[in-house]
Amino acid sequence: MGKNRRWLLVRRPAGGALAIGLAGLGAAAISYGYLDRPLAVWIHRHLAANPLFPWLTHIVDPLVPLALCALVIAAATGAFGCRLGQGVRPVLGAAIAVLVAAAVKDELKWVFGRTWPETWIDGNPSYLRDGVYTFAWFHGGRGWSAFPSGHMTLLTAWLSALWRWHPAVRWIGVLAIPLVGAGLLGANYHWLSDVICGALLGAGIGLGIAAFVAGSPQPLAAGEESAP
């Protein structure tokens, strides 16, 4: 009975996450077909001069440096023979999730080669200047790296990795995700579907890393024996 109950506790959250993921992918598909272009045109006409939106995107800037610092401190602590407590695991999991998300999103940007709404980097082709709205697979280059949104991927990877252990982070997420999303869209840095898929990708990475870190065994201290 205990094993069955534990299986149900694992299965139900996984099923909910799958349903949310599928709904998100459906929303991204609808956005790609019907919302991305008219929304980008409207934003260009009505919001392009507002300096608030680019500023909002900088909320994410500290995540990668902080993640690197956390892992360096953890490595140094381990090198001196100190054992990290259970309470440190969520922090390390979040740091690992951010760095994994940073690597994954860069590779996916290269794979998909999506063009941007605006021309704002190295004279890149864009929808608003050139009418270009495409995926140039494996193209590479900064002008072909709109998909997925890296900012949203990093943010949701960090938040979802901490979601279980730190309830206060949930309130940060409720505030930060809409603000960063509004900044990315309001500045026309990304298509709506880029932001949606970036959020899904980051959440998947964060939850996966958190589950792995939570389930990995702690090393035994000297003199301890494993339970039968």
pLDDT digits (tens, 9 = 90+) for 110-155: 999 999 999 988 889 999 999 999 999 999 999 999 999 999 999 9
Mean pLDDT on 165-177: 88
Q: What is the CATH number of domain 16-215?
A: 1.20.144
- Specify which residues 116 forms β-bridges with: 126
d(CA 16, CA 197): 17
- Residue whose entry in the numeric block shows the structure tokens 């509004």: 182
| 126, β-bridge pairs | 116
- What mean pLDDT do residues 203-211 have? 92
The pair of three-digit structure tokens given for residue 181, joined into one six-digit string: 């999303």
Lowest mean pLDDT among 17-21, 72-76, 130-134, 173-177: 17-21
Query: Of 55, 64, 76, 50, nearest to 100 (Cα)?
Result: 64
Half-sphere exposure of residue 51: CA atoms within 13 angstroms, side-chain side: 0
Q: Is 127 helix (H, G, I), strand (E, B) or coil?
A: helix
**Which contiguous run of DSSP H or E holds residue 30?**
helix 2-30
Q: Is the pLDDT of residue 9 over 50?
A: no
List the single range of 82-91, 161-170, 183-192, 204-213 with lowest mean pLDDT.
82-91
| 188 pLDDT more than 90 | yes
Residue 15: per-residue pLDDT: 65
At residue 153's C-alpha, the angle toward residues 147 and 156, to 5°, is 150
